[in-house]
Amino acid sequence: MASKKKGFFLFRWIKRMFLGNHNEVVDLLQEEQMQTPFKTMAKKFLKKKTVIFALTVFVLIFAFVLIGPYYWKLDLSEQDSTLTNLPPGYNMMAVPKEMKGNAVDIAPGGTFGFGIDGNGKIHSWGTTRITEKIDVADIPEEVLNAKITKIAAGFDHMVALGDDGQLYVWGNTRLQQGNFTSDMKKDQKDGWNIIQLEASTQFSAIVTDEGNLYLWGNKNQNDINVTKKYQGKIAKVALTANHYVSLMKDGTVVYTGSKGKGNPLASVPKALKGKTVVDIAATSSAVAALTDNGEVYVWGTTVRGEGEVPEFSVPVKGIYGGRYHFTALLEDNSVVSWGNNKYGQTNVPEKLLQGEEEIASVYVGNHQNYAITTDGDVHTWGLKGFLLGTDDLGRDMLTRIVNGGQVTMTVGAISVVIATVIGVLLGGLAGYFGGKVDLLIMRISEIVGGLPFIPFAMILSAVIGSRLDANQKMYLIMVVLGVLSWTGTCRLVRAQILAQREMEYVTAAKAMGIKEKVIVFRHILPNVFSLLLVSMTLDFATCMLTESTLSYLGFGIPLPQPTWGNLLDGANNSVVIQQYWWRWVFPAAIFGLCTVCINMIGDGLRDAVDPKSNER
């Protein structure tokens, strides 16, 4: 029975502490009810709308950088030359309305796409700017006036075929992408019939109905020679990033270039011997072959899962290659993709996966997939774009901002904890014992406080920084920031203890024989905790700014490990400021917003702690 009464009393006490006693009638003429210091401070703190707004924004940012890395996982080795400096947006597969229900041909590029509608008109979408002066969306007038029947997208250029057999090239043509060979010109005069048009990294290819293959473009980096004995026998060609493989009219697959020695693409699987190949496709460094009985064989450099061919419930009737993935169209009209799935390029829509749509053709780009139905509708899956754009190495800015924020906040928080522990310990001893102890600690504090922190950290980084990796350097910065930032906390705690040690409760504790260290750390320090909380809040923002300053100057945490500071290193480049604004605007915005909110919270706490703030 006693335990029930005790539990009921505890419940009523908690209710009164947080909600107040609403059963009692309070006389308005009576003095204001007594409240605990914590409740008074919390009430004053929560009165200001600006402080509540700052606290809400900071909590959201904190949750964002705390939980975000589980969804936007960081790969420090990540880089992709085909995705560099892309602006924010999800437009890479934004097929124009004019093509929906009227699509004839699609040419997916790395970050853009081109298509032909039923009227022979060309449409473009996505990030089409190649360089500062070159934009593949600037289609030549002669192409716009011609009736285009086929189109192909390379890394930095476009190729189109008119109904009169005329070839058109635009985009980057500085590396002979638009220079046709003499054999091509001769065959064109004789009236060629082009059955395949392809484009890749700085080179292009065509196959005629007579079995001739022609390649042109950058010969220095690409094997675009054709062994003469194979001319007149080629049915189809598959282009990788720098090489190609040919499907012969007799159903065999041959590396018909001149650099086959030691090339894994030239090592055609022995399992294909005696089998008839009906289709081939290529990724950046691998080739897939489809036999007449619907089997798929993959060879070459398959480091991204391209070689992990799934088991098909029905035979395959067509195969297509992206940068690191393959897509297959099955005889039951279903579509299957496999390989690298970083950007969702193997996440086939459920309708296509189940074969519910009648597919007329499939087109695959670097990280994009397009499927055109017999009604002309277009289905897409894969990389749509990047919400905050990419940097100069093709890395997602959102991923780096999220993970960089976690590093910056961690450094700031740990540094504040170290500084607070040292400051409270030394400040408590100096304030309570005074005398020589106070004199010694204050002289040490003055020496440490007189050190110019940023130059000192830069010298330290230059001396031993080259011997440390990114994680070790992060720990070093935490320790240095904490060890050199305790002086302000020490003075604050000392001043408060000098005032508190003369209070009656300290005298009473001494009279009761309580040990001095217990008096300092168990009785006096809790009474100065509110001021200490304000100091820690403001120091948190200061430590974050200091770490970011060092990283921005190149003496902090080095790349590729992101922090909010080193993400702003592009801001000292006029080209980045003018053309790639998203590389510095977004990190600066979230960092600035975070520090402003922390300072506003600190100011709100300081006003809440001050008993005279209501009088001002």
Interval 287-314: pLDDT, tens: 999 999 889 999 999 888 899 999 988 8
- By mean pLDDT, which of 185-199, 377-391, 463-477 is the weakest? 463-477
Cβ–Cβ < 8 Å for 402, 69: yes
Most confident option among 6-20, 138-152, 557-571:
138-152
Q: Residue 316 and residue 29: Cα distance in Å, rounded? A: 89
Mean pLDDT of 593-613: 79
Mean pLDDT of 372-387: 90
Percent of the chain exceeding pLDDT 70 equals 90
The predicted structure's pLDDT at residue 152: 94
The predicted structure's pLDDT at residue 388: 93
Q: Where are the alpha helices (DSSP H) in 281-396?
A: 350-353
The answer to whether residue 257 scores a pLDDT higher than 70 is yes
Which strands make up the sheet holding 296-300, listed edge to edge? 277-282, 286-291, 296-300
410-433 residue pLDDT tens: 988 898 899 888 988 888 888 877
The answer to whether residue 27 scores a pLDDT higher than 60 is no
Mean pLDDT of 434-441: 86
Q: Which residues contact 388 (CB under 8 A, 6 or more apart)?
A: 88, 396, 397, 398, 401, 582, 586
pLDDT confidence of 610, banded at 50, 70, 90? Answer: low
208 against 26, higher pLDDT: 208
- By mean pLDDT, which of 169-178, 186-195, 492-501, 589-598 is the weakest? 492-501
What does pTM read for this prediction?
A: 0.83
Please give the CATH number for the structural domain made up of 49-74+395-615.
1.10.3720.10
pLDDT confidence of 103, banded at 50, 70, 90? Answer: confident
The answer to whether residue 187 scores a pLDDT higher than 70 is yes
Of 421, 438, 566, the C-alpha closest to 494 is 438
The DSSP letter of residue 366 is S
- What mean pLDDT, rounded, does the chain reach? 84
The answer to whether residue 126 scores a pLDDT higher than 80 is yes
Residue 455 CA to its chain's centroid (Å): 32
Most confident option among 7-21, 29-43, 549-563:
549-563
The answer to whether residue 18 scores a pLDDT higher than 80 is no
Of 536, 591, 593, 614, the C-alpha closest to 48 is 614
Which strands make up the sheet holding 148-153, listed edge to edge? 148-153, 157-162, 167-171
Mean pLDDT of 95-119: 87
Q: Give the position of tokens 């009638």.
A: 25
Mean pLDDT of 393-405: 93
Q: Residue 193 and residue 208: Cα distance in Å, rounded? A: 5
Cβ–Cβ < 8 Å for 33, 43: no
